[in-house]
Amino acid sequence: MTDLRSYLLRRLGFAALMLVGVSLILFVIMQLAPGGPEAVLIGGEFSAEAAAQIRARLGLDRPIAVQYVTWASAAVRGDLGRSFKTGDPVARLIADRLGPTLQLTGAALLFAVVVAVPLGVLAAVRRGTTWDTLGSAFSLFGVSFPSFWLGIMLILLFSEAVPWLPPSGLAEYGHESDVVSRVRHAILPTLTLGLIQMAAVMRFTRSSLLEALRQDYVRTARAKGLADGRVVWRHALRNALIPVVTVIGLSLPTLVGGAVLTETVFAWPGLGRLAVGAVFERDYPVIMGVNLVVAAVVITANLLTDLAYTVIDPRISYQ
Amino acid sequence: MIHSLVLAALVVLLTLAGPRPGLGAGRDLVIGLGGDATSLNPVVATDGISYTVEWPIFDSLLELDASLNVKPLLAESWETSRDGLTYTFKLKKGVTWHDGKPFTARDVAFTFYSVLDPKVTTPHRAYFDALAGFPELTAKENPKKPEELSVRPIEVVDDHTVRFRLRYPSGSFLAVLVNPRAGIVPEHLLKGQDLNTAEFNRKPVGTGPFKLVEWRRAERVVLEANDKYHGGRPALNRVIFRIIPDAVVLLQELRSGGVDLMENPPLTEVARLKQTAGLRVLTADNTSYTYLGWRQDVAPFTDLRVRRALNHAVDVPSMIKEVLQGYAAPAAGQFPPSSWAYDPSFKPYPYDPAKAKTLLAEAGFKPGADGILTKDGKPFTFTIRHDVANQTVKDTAVIVQEYLKRVGVDARLEPLDWPTFVKKLFASEFEGIVVNWTNHHDPDPFAYTIWHSSQWKGRNFAHYKNPRVDELLESARRTAVVAERKKFYGEFSKVLMEDAPYVFLYFPQQVYVTRQGYEGFVALPTFGGIYQSLKVVRWTGK
Amino acid sequence: MRDGALARLLGHRRGLIGAGAVAVMLAAGVLAPVAAPYSYSSQSLTQRLRPPGRAHWLGTDGFGRDVLSRVMWGSRVSLQIGFAATALSLVVGTVLGGAAGYFGRGTDQAVMRAADAFLSVPALFLVLVVVALFGASLLNTALVIALVTWAPAARVVRAECLALRGRDFVQAARALGAGHARILGRHLLLNAVPVIIVQASLMLGQAILIESGLSYLGLGAQPPLPSWGNMVVEGRQFLASAWWVAAFPGLAIFVTVLGFNLFGDGLRDAFDPALRGAA
């Protein structure tokens, strides 16, 4: 177990390093950019004097290094600062928005995996038949769609052309705890995000299963006369799952970040839209906070994915 | 099998269920906003959305009537001294703050001394330039405190009388004492606090017709009727501001009942909205204006012929008709039609591309091989910067570019996001701009701050300089007699039009869409004019 | 491995379809200045929002501009940025991946850790920040897209070099005294070209998707210059009344990306028939 422990320590140490690096780069980029939050805060009655006062109050007139160290030392203690725009604690803003984003990406991922893996297996097993061709075509199409366009087309079909589903928002206004309303509102955004993910996962499942089926040990097992079904499900699938887990892990940054577009199209009150709004309004603490949280989530997921490998394939060790 | 069939049927049924009616239809009013307020303290919150949400919460001393003249609100009556330097206001009695404490003249004094305090970040300060002791109170180095002045600008005579002293007679003094820029804040809650960051800004307490119940950031602001409002309890139960940044979504919510009032729908949709049963469209003139501007001190704009040519090059009436669907008035200068300084005898430069070309030729430009005008080997090309987020301004810039191209001027569009745009604007880092700017219902202070040559570091970022204009603006400032001011501003407008510093394009109207059944909306022809009438709006259900 | 690749490629139906789609889009972009029926910016305020018809095959948008012409011009923008970003990304990815695969150990660790770091930041978010703050010029956009896409390319090249470096011809070259750079450049990377080309095709598709996403958020090419993404966002407000304004540019994105993906598949199968049908 010391193996595991030292591995974890190393990974965590490295993760911390990455978080620092990423946040530092982001911080410097933001400071270098023209314009700042004061313009947004003052609005139409802009005056240079007011702008200077606001910058001083927000601490933006201090040297960049000082500002970063102040932010970082607070962040380590869990204090992500306060939004320039609203003065609310960033941690709370993120917590409020994290739920809807996780709900969306979680549902999309679940949808993708639950539908794609069996379909991918089916396509691999029934290789060469119509199923396979259809499946391949579908998955190829899926990864070629721009997500925002897919969302808009879905709105066009299921909300404008026929008024079946609501086109935006988390739930009917005033009915936020109404489960039915929330489910109805979640259908189109989940489909948008999920269909694309599904295509990617399906493609991967199929190819990796085919690869696994071609391996020597499978042929040996077949030669030995073991029933086809057992061969597939026992040996090949297990090996095929590794890359699938990889793909799921790899798709996390895309999901969390790419949800930005879906959230924009559907006016979904999630982290992606919080981030986009913060970028446009130069709300530095929020940008830094969201980035930190997302990076932490992704790094954690990667770590878990790697640990999952060792469970699936005992041959993989902690190097 | 049956189990899954039932489940499937259930899912289908649930999916097909239509939208539900909006919350509290009838006695609540749900207003859709495109963004969130930054804070709810009228002294420091100066962006448009904050103004809107503050309006029902705070009262000002005076308010505007339909012709944009002042009438009493918290001030019952007032007297002006003969020399125009002293204003004495008698305040309404029996007015209370939302927390029950009585409203007195001390609150008025506190509010305006806070505006003057250099430690408080507020662009409103400039509006009170006429107050006695203004330079000393607002000095950057060693500003004085009010107690240290020999002549106090604001004096609490008694609990219900407050006196203002000016250092020169100012015709615009009364005009600045109205919402949304002059709401009164409570001394007992803010004394000794830093107004810039006080918790009050999130939990405001005013004397207005509605009080704050809840503010969920980026989601909604809920106000409820003030039973003890001095003007009588409003007919509405609650006013709920819903924050919906996406304009398309906002419109959908309006249609489906989630929102009862929205401002500035996409203009291309207004015709359809007018025909939609259950919705009503209200329009009103506005004071903000959109123009094509440029640096006055940079060639070739220093040539009067060039400036006039550009004015002739743009077909404004056509632009208004096609892009704004007619919801704008052509601009012939600084002053909107609803302003008393407006002179209908001024006409904008007529659309005359031939004349534009002639003038440009006179100025020494010759068409090059690609149709672009050149002079001394240099093509007539410049960049137009504008705000990327304002759809109407964007569309306008695109059309302006097209018209300029037709007379041989090559304008490149450079949309910038608001923070960058404003920064460059006030640093005078631009060649051309298309901007929609707020205005005030009184010509002063905007006319002064935009056109006076002393304001190059401020709002006169275009660096305009004209001694005659300076003279006129100063004279207009220092008199309180309306007839005289009108004369000065009239002359000012004439000089300005002849000098053609900008292509004044149009004054976009305010367009509101509301649900049928609400009565009582009065849209004043000035910024956010509809929000003043929220206290009299009621639901009749018709 | 490369002999017969061309023949296999030409016989690969899906790959050919993809190549065809890409060729059409490329041609549209290259020939737009001469072949587009209207200019991309000529407005006709009386012809706003006309449905597809004889005069305007794909209809007109909110300013009366011809959608077909703008889609063609949009091709230029999207493909320019796509190619620029992919080229940058490939250069960085190939050099770093090759070094990692060839030198192994320390270099490998360093490069892979860096790649991990870039993969943990959500691509669109980073791109958004840079482009929003610094402006959406061709260079900025291409640079930042390259920043977020080099990592997968590096991984692929690294894998290839890892596999190849133990091979005989490399040992032989070493024995003959060839320097590292020569071995890397001449032997390894040259043999990795097929893999790189396949990767390029897929990355082009991805770059175009990212660029159009940026345009959708308002950060791409600025009006009146059309880019497919900003056409879709302009068309969104007319979705109910004039669906074609948003539909066709989106379709263009889809066809182009699909084309690159199909072509990439075809290339992959052509270069290594053992993998045929595996992707």
Q: What is the pLDDT of residue B513?
A: 94
- B442, with CB counted inside 10 A (0-12, 13-18, 19+), is buried
Residues 6 or more apart whose Cβ sits within 8 Å of residue B39: A87, B45, B50, B201, B202
Separation CA A39–CA B376 (nearest Å): 39
| Higher-scoring residue by pLDDT: C170, B443 | B443
In the numeric block, the tokens 């493609």 are attached to A203
Q: State how far the alpha carbon of A88 is from the alpha carbons of A80, B195, B419, in Å.
A: 10, 16, 21
Pair B311, B330: CB distance under 8 Å: no
Q: State how far the alpha carbon of A309 is from the alpha carbons of A5, A248, B262, C116, C236, in Å.
A: 16, 12, 54, 17, 44
Tell if the CB–CB gap between A287 and C129 is shorter than 8 Å.
yes
Separation CA A91–CA A112 (nearest Å): 30
Question: What tokens appear for C100 in the block?
Answer: 């990692």
* Nearest residue to C108 via CA among C154, C40, C152: C154
Question: What tokens appear for B270 in the block?
Answer: 């207004």
A59 touches chain C (CB under 8 A): no
Q: Which residues pair with B512 in a beta bridge?
A: B263, B282
Percent of chain B with pLDDT over 90: 46
Separation CA B432–CA B360 (nearest Å): 17
Q: What is the mean pLDDT of chain B?
A: 87
Separation CA B61–CA B89 (nearest Å): 9
C279 touches chain A (CB under 8 A): yes
- Chain A residues lying within 8 Å of C265, measured CB to CB: 140
Give the residue on C whose Cα is nearest the Cα of A128: C277
Q: What is the pLDDT of residue C278?
A: 38
Pair B487, B343: CB distance under 8 Å: no
The values of phi and psi at residue B290, to 5°, are -115, 135
Pair C26, C273: CB distance under 8 Å: no
Separation CA C226–CA C36 (nearest Å): 13
Separation CA C159–CA C197 (nearest Å): 15
Separation CA B268–CA B283 (nearest Å): 15
A40 touches chain B (CB under 8 A): yes
Q: Where are the beta strands (DSSP E) in C47-199?
A: none
Residue of C17, C116, C121, C231 to mutate, interface with A, max A Cβ within 10 Å: C121
User: Mapping DSSP to helix (H, G, I), strand (E, B) and coil, where does residue C48 land?
Assistant: coil
- With bands split at pLDDT 50, 70 and 90, how would you rate the model's confidence at B16? very low
- Amino acid identity for residue A124 in this structure: A
CA distance B406 to chain C (A): 11
- Chain B residues lying within 8 Å of A86, measured CB to CB: 36, 38, 217-218
Separation CA B505–CA B319 (nearest Å): 9
Separation CA A260–CA A276 (nearest Å): 8
Separation CA B35–CA C241 (nearest Å): 26
Give DSSP secondary structure letters for B357-379.
Answer: HHHHHHTT-EE-TTS-EEETTEE
| Higher-scoring residue by pLDDT: B466, A238 | B466
B249 touches chain A (CB under 8 A): yes
- Chain A residues lying within 8 Å of B457, measured CB to CB: 48
User: Mapping DSSP to helix (H, G, I), strand (E, B) and coil, where does residue C241 land?
Assistant: coil
* Nearest residue to C221 via CA among C78, C88, C28: C78
In the numeric block, the tokens 């030292």 are attached to A6
Q: Where are the beta strands (DSSP E) in B35-165?
A: 62-64, 70-72, 75-80, 86-91, 154-158, 161-165
Separation CA C12–CA C9 (nearest Å): 5
Q: State how far the alpha carbon of B318 is from the alpha carbons of A157, C73, C208, in Å.
A: 35, 27, 38
Pair A105, A255: CB distance under 8 Å: yes
Tell if the CB–CB gap between B15 and A165 is shorter than 8 Å.
yes
Tell me how crowded residue A199 is: count the other CB atoms within 10 A of its CB. Answer: 22
- Chain A residues lying within 8 Å of C236, measured CB to CB: 152
**DSSP 8-state assignment for residue A156:** I
- With bands split at pLDDT 50, 70 and 90, how would you rate the model's confidence at B535? very high
Mean pLDDT per block of 10 residues along chain A (319 residues) reads 77 83 83 80 78 87 89 90 86 88 87 82 74 80 87 83 76 75 88 85 75 68 65 65 69 68 84 84 89 82 74 56
| Higher-scoring residue by pLDDT: A212, B19 | A212
**A135: number of CA atoms within 13 Å, CB side?**
30
B30 touches chain A (CB under 8 A): yes
Provide the ipTM. 0.79
pLDDT tens-digit series, residues B239-291? 999 988 877 778 878 887 888 999 988 887 788 888 888 899 999 988 889 99
Q: State how far the alpha carbon of B381 is from the alpha carbons of A66, B165, B294, B296, in Å.
A: 43, 51, 12, 16
Separation CA B282–CA B327 (nearest Å): 11
User: Mapping DSSP to helix (H, G, I), strand (E, B) and coil, where does residue B220 land?
Assistant: strand
Assess whether pLDDT exceeds 90 at residue B185: yes
Residues 6 or more apart whose Cβ sits within 8 Å of residue C179: none
**DSSP 8-state assignment for residue B143:** P
CA distance C127 to chain B (A): 16
Pairing between β-strand B381-387 and β-strand B410-416 as defined by DSSP bridges: parallel
CA distance B321 to chain C (A): 9
Pairing between β-strand B366-367 and β-strand B220-225 as defined by DSSP bridges: unpaired
- Amino acid identity for residue A75 in this structure: A
The values of phi and psi at residue A63, to 5°, are -60, 150
User: Mapping DSSP to helix (H, G, I), strand (E, B) and coil, where does residue B159 land?
Assistant: coil
Separation CA B393–CA B144 (nearest Å): 43
Give the residue on C whose Cα is nearest the Cα of A138: C258
pLDDT tens-digit series, residues C98-109? 888 777 778 887
Provide the residue-wise pLDDT of chain C in tens; the chain has 279 residues: 456 667 777 777 788 888 899 999 999 989 988 888 888 877 776 777 889 988 888 998 877 889 999 999 999 888 988 999 999 999 888 888 888 877 777 888 788 878 877 776 666 677 777 777 777 777 888 888 888 888 888 887 887 777 777 777 777 777 777 677 666 666 677 777 777 888 888 889 888 988 888 888 777 766 667 889 888 888 887 877 788 998 999 999 999 999 998 888 888 777 765 544 433
Question: What tokens appear for B362 in the block?
Answer: 């006179």
Give DSSP secondary structure letters for B413-437.
Answer: EEEE-HHHHHHHHHTT--SEEEEEE
Tell if the CB–CB gap between C232 and A152 is shorter than 8 Å.
yes
Of B51-60, B486-495, C215-224, give the lowest mean pLDDT range.
Answer: C215-224
User: Mapping DSSP to helix (H, G, I), strand (E, B) and coil, where does residue B212 land?
Assistant: strand
User: Mapping DSSP to helix (H, G, I), strand (E, B) and coil, where does residue B340 land?
Assistant: coil
Q: What is the pLDDT of residue A256?
A: 64
pLDDT tens-digit series, residues C212-250? 888 887 777 666 678 898 888 888 878 777 889 989 999
Separation CA C126–CA B68 (nearest Å): 49
Q: State how far the alpha carbon of B334 is from the alpha carbons of A185, B287, B339, B432, C275, in Å.
A: 47, 9, 10, 18, 72
Q: What is the pLDDT of residue A254?
A: 65
Question: Which of B262-271, B353-362, B449-458, C140-149 has the largest mean confidence?
Answer: B353-362
- Chain C residues lying within 8 Å of A295, measured CB to CB: 120-121
Assess whether pLDDT exceeds 90 at residue B160: yes
C62-89 in b/e form (b: 16+ CB < 10 A) is bbbbbbbbbbbbbbbbbbbbbbbbbbbb
Separation CA C115–CA C107 (nearest Å): 12
Considering only CB atoms, B413 lies closest to which of C223, C238, C239, namely: C223
Considering only CB atoms, B38 lies closest to which of A35, A86, A168, namely: A86
